[in-house]
């Protein structure tokens, strides 16, 4: 089944506007978690639109523009590292998704959410496991969220905190990023609740 055909099966006289929702950045040690919501027009299909993780950065950047130009409505939302530490990453992800859906200029009749659970949405929704590979709307949302988050790391965090080399690891827990945290300690964009083991190691080394 094509990804647009998966979406079309949800449309009927009660569901004219179908939104896809996905997140990016649940796993990194730093930066916000992002979510996007996208409503695509009837009849629109691009076989290139797929799960963002299966696409190259260059392809994602190209498709970002295609999606924004063709979507009936889209919204991209972020929840900060500080808020993630306050309410935990799962609730922060739910909040980002809620904000993305509420930010759409068209209120969707139904929402498809990537994953196995969600909460807080004020419109009817369904969770779709592996949805970014099944649904064109969810795949489009995954691209918008991923590209926006990567741009934030490269264009803003790397400029504000150049010593951490965010343009290389984009906040993920790579060997390079871990080494920088051990060397420099966390910056204001780090999720402290994600750094417990790393900071414990740093403290142990400093006290030896």
The conformational region for residue 44 under phi > 0 = left, psi -120 to 50 = alpha, else beta, is: beta
For the four alpha carbons of 186, 82, 189 and 146, in that order, the dihedral sign comes to positive
pLDDT (0 to 100) of residue 208: 59
- The alpha-carbon radius of gyration of the chain (Å, integer) is 18
Domain boundaries, the chain: 3-160
pLDDT (0 to 100) of residue 3: 80
110, 92 contact by CB (below 8 A):
no
pLDDT (0 to 100) of residue 205: 64
* Spatial distance between the Cα atoms of 137 and 118, rounded to a whole number of angstroms: 17
Among residues 51, 37, 40, the alpha carbon closest in space to that of 17 is found at 40
Per-residue pLDDT of the chain (208 residues; tens, 9 = 90+): 778 899 999 998 899 999 999 999 999 999 999 999 999 999 899 989 988 989 999 999 999 999 999 999 999 999 999 999 999 999 999 999 999 999 999 999 999 999 999 989 999 999 999 999 999 999 999 999 999 999 999 999 999 999 999 999 999 999 999 999 999 999 999 999 999 988 887 666 666 5
- pTM score, two decimals? 0.94
| CATH topology for the 3-160 domain | Nucleotidyltransferase; domain 5 (3.30.420)
pLDDT (0 to 100) of residue 207: 63
Among residues 151, 147, 150, 129, the alpha carbon closest in space to that of 138 is found at 129
């Amino acid at each position: 089944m094509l990804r647009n055909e998966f979406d079309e099966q949800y449309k009927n006289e009660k569901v004219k506007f179908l939104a896809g929702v996905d997140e990016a950045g649940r796993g990194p040690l730093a930066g916000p978690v992002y979510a996007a919501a996208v409503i695509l027009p009837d009849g629109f299909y691009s076989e290139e639109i797929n799960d963002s993780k299966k696409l190259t950065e260059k392809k994602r950047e190209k498709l970002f523009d295609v999606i924004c130009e063709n979507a009936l409505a889209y919204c991209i939302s972020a929840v900060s590292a500080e808020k993630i530490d306050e309410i935990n990453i799962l609730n922060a992800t739910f909040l980002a998704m809620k904000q993305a859906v509420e930010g759409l200029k068209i209120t969707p009749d139904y929402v498809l959410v990537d994953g196995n659970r969600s909460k807080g949405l004020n419109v009817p929704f369904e969770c779709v496991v592996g949805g970014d590979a099944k649904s064109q709307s969810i795949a489009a949302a995954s691209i918008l969220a991923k590209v926006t988050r990567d741009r934030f790391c490269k264009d803003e965090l790397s400029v504000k905190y150049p010593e951490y080399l965010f343009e290389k690891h984009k906040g993920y827990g790579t060997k390079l990023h871990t080494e920088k945290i051990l060397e420099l300690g966390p910056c204001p964009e780090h999720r402290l609740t994600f750094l417990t083991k790393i900071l414990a190691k740093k403290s142990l080394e400093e006290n030896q």
